[in-house]
Amino acid sequence: MSGRSPRVLVIGAGVSGLTTAVLLAERGCRVRIRTTEYPGETTSAVAGAIWGPISLAPRDRTVAWARRSHGRFLELANEPGTGVHLALGTVASREPIAAKRPEETRLMTDLRACEPGELPHGFTAGARATLPLIDMPRYLDYLTRRFREAGGELLRSQVPSLSDAAGESRIVVNCTGVGARELVGDAGVLPVLGQHVVVENPGIAEYFVELSESGRWASYMPHGDRLVLGGVAVPYAWDRVPDGEVTAGILRRCAEIRPELRDAPVREEIVGLRPRSESVRLKVEHYEGARIVHNYGHGGDGVAVSWGCAHEAAELATDE
Ligand SMILES: Cc1cc2nc3c(=O)[nH]c(=O)nc-3n(C[C@H](O)[C@H](O)[C@H](O)COP(=O)(O)OP(=O)(O)OC[C@H]3O[C@@H](n4cnc5c(N)ncnc54)[C@H](O)[C@@H]3O)c2cc1C
């Protein structure tokens, strides 16, 4: 980067847009975010969120993104007010688990298989490890504060087209999640709806995630007095209105594992759209005189790869 600091337009204020915007603003760029939803209203705010093994492509790049993000979350867990902390917990399955472990499990230094007595009833295999948990509403607030402190500007404003964005700035970063389907006409991005039930935490400190191919599972993630319960995955669904039957199913599955959840007061039911894509789209496109850096399509792992993707997007944006 040289000369006068470049002006950059970031579209989107979920975890992808905010993290990229923070890095660009802290590098001295004059950054404006335009977003239809404020950070607390995005899909990112709905995520659990846990850093764990990821199921995104392209594999060679996503492992590097996950590794970089893991390192950053470990640092943030030591800083008060970020919403990030480390927690021990269990990932378990009712079916046998593949013997080959994904590359990123090497970062889990205390990873070990569960003893049979550590598994909930009906589960046949599992593993325990300490992982970063991210309390998304607090974390997005932290990123927003950090962005503003670096001089960034955040506007609620829908970007109707890439031409509109290119007309505003010579450098644009597109972090629109499922919104990319409309903004850039990418039919390869599909919503996979997820719903969480947030309850008052009766005192659970560990996380739990059930591995399941069925589209319905039990999971819980503690964030102080909030406990985020999941989960479901419903492809092609767009309606972000919480479904009472889904809530009842989540509460029932979680209470089978932790009976004290049967009476936990429900604080809210929240719905988000995971931006599933065959492959994360993180690349440059030249469009009407502007350099457009796309950073979207992170499926169910957008938090877990956010720092790695943001570093690459920021480099692509400022690489002359
Ligand atoms: C229930 C659930 C649980 C999840 N759990 C995890 C987890 O444990 N770990 C994990 O890593 N990931 C998890 N995810 C996935 C993660 O939430 C997503 O991958 C991530 O939030 C995507 O972030 P994003 O910033 O790319 O998109 P989003 O958060 O969707 O943000 C997109 C932004 O673009 C804006 N936008 C869109 N179109 C326009 C436009 N035309 N003009 C202006 N603004 C626009 C939106 O308003 C929004 O601000 C979960 C998701 C769900 C739903």
* pLDDT one-digit tens code per residue, 111-147: 999 998 999 999 999 999 999 999 999 999 999 999 9
Give the pLDDT of residue 319. 86
Confidence of residue 76 (pLDDT cuts 50, 70, 90): very high
32 touches ligand 1 (CB under 6 Å): no
Taking the C-alpha atoms of residue 116 and residue 59, their distance in angstroms, rounded to an integer, is 32
Gap from CA of 115 to ligand 1 centroid (Å): 36
297: three-class secondary structure by DSSP: coil
**Cβ 13 under 6 angstroms from ligand 1:** yes
- Residue 159 annotated as binding site: yes
Atom of ligand 1 nearest to the CA of 270: 1
| Residue 15, ligand 1, Cβ within 6 A | yes
Residue whose token pair is 């593993």: 127
* In the chain, % of residues over pLDDT 70: 98
Interatomic CA distance for residues 320 and 316, integer angstroms: 9
Kindly report, residue by residue over 13-27, the tens digit of the pLDDT. 999 999 999 999 999
Q: What is the pLDDT of residues 254-296, one digit of tens each?
A: 999 999 999 999 999 999 999 999 999 999 999 999 999 999 9
- Distance, CA 125 to ligand 1 centroid (Å)? 31
The three-class DSSP label of residue 215 is coil
Average confidence (pLDDT) over 82-97: 95
Domain 7-318: which topology?
A: Rossmann fold (3.40.50)
